[in-house]
Amino acid sequence: MSAPITIRPYRPGDEESLLKGHNQIFPERSLAHWQWKFGNNPTGQIHTMVADHAEEGMVGAYVTLPVHASIEGERRIIGQCVDLWVLPQHRRFGPRPGLFVNLALAHYEEWGGKGEDKNSFHHGWPIATWRIGQKYLKYEIVRDWDFLFREMTPGGFPKRETSDELEVRKVDRFDADVDGLWAEFSKETQLAVIRDQRYLNWRYADSVDSSYELYECRETSSNKLRGIAVVAQRDFVIPNTCFLVDWMVPQHDVDTTTALVAIAEQRASELGTNALATLFQHRDPRFLEFQKMGFLVYGTIYFQVVIPFDKHDTHFYKEQWYHTLGDSDLI
C-alpha cells in the first residue's frame, strides 16, 4: 500500500522541500530567489498548495504569484500561475484527473473567489498543461502572445528625434513620483496590475538572479515624471534580444513614447543585441502605435489563459486588460 499524500496550503518551513522538488523539474532556484519572489511579495501573501508525501516529502505544488491589481477601480488580488509541478513518479496519464488537477482544485477552493483576500482570477501560459487545464480546470484562452519587434540594422538603429523639453534618466529605483504617474495612467484602463512604487521596485530593482534597467522620462523644466520603461537583455523566443519588459506612458503622449523608445533602441544597439522587442495586447492602441514606429508583429508559441473566479467573462479580459511582458515571470 502506498504512503498517503496530503494536499495542504504552504506552511513556513516548507521552503527547502519545495525547492528540492521544484529544482528537479525546472532550472535551479535559490532560497534567496524564493524569498524575494514569494516571501517578500508586496501582497504579503503566499498562495502555494503542496502535495506532501508521508515518506518522500513534497511531490507536487500548484503555485500562484499574487499581485494587487486595479479592476474597474477596485483594488483586488490576481494570481499568476508560476510553478505548477508534480514529480514524474506521481503523475497520472489516463481518463481520470490526477494529482495536478487535485492540487489546482484545492488551490482554487482556498484562494479563488470574490473576497478581499481572494484571487479575482488566475492567469498563465500553460503550454505543457493546456489540455489538462482545458478539460478539468476551466482554462480559457484570452490572447496569443505576439511580440512587436525591430530587427537590428547594421550600425544600430537610426537615432530618433526627441523633444528638448524631456530628459530620460536611468535610475536604480523608482521614487514616489511613480505613484502619481500610476494614478494618472490607471484612469485609462479597467484592468491592470497596480504599478506603484512598492510593486515596481520589488519586481525589478530588488529582483534576485535577474537584472533590469530602469528608465524614467521627466520634463526638464518642472521635473514632472511623464513615463517609465524597463529594459532587459534576454534569450527568450528571439535569441539575444533587448526587451522592453514594462511600460507606463499615458496614451497619446507621443513625445514621451518617442523618448523612451529611443533610449531602448540605443541600449539594444550598445548591448549588441539582434532585436528590440516588446508586447502589448492587440486591442491596446500601443499595438498599432509601435508598428507605426517601425515594429513588426512576431508570432510566438505562447498563449495566455485565465481562470476566472468573479463576475467577469473572457471578453472582459480580452478587451480591458493592460498587459506587458513584466506581468509574467518569463522575462
Report how far residue 277's alpha carbon sits from residue 317's, in angstroms, rounded to the nearest whole number: 23
Residue 189 CB partners (closer than 8 Å, separation 6+) = 70, 320, 321, 322
pLDDT tens-place string over residues 130-185: 888 999 998 999 999 999 999 998 888 999 999 999 999 999 999 999 999 999 99
Residue appearing with cell numbers 514524474: 88
Question: Structural domain of residue 111, as residue ranges?
Answer: 5-138
**Domain check: are 204 and 288 in the same one?**
yes
pTM given for the model: 0.94
pLDDT tens-place string over residues 269-304: 999 999 999 999 999 999 999 999 999 999 999 999
**Domain check: are 290 and 167 in the same one?**
yes
DSSP letter (8 states) at residue 112: B
**Could you tell me how far CA 111 lies from the centroid of its own chain?**
19
**Domain check: are 46 and 178 in the same one?**
no
Average pLDDT rounded to a whole number, residues 243-268: 97
Query: Per-residue pLDDT for 17 more than 60?
Result: yes
pLDDT tens-place string over residues 118-129: 999 999 998 878
The domain that holds 275 is classified in CATH as: 3.40.630.30
Number of independent structural domains in the chain: 2
* Average confidence score pLDDT of the chain: 94
* Predicted local confidence at residue 95, as pLDDT: 66
**Domain check: are 207 and 264 in the same one?**
yes
> What single string gives the DSSP state of each residue in 1-36?
-PPPEEEEE--TT-HHHHHHHHHHHSS---HHHHII
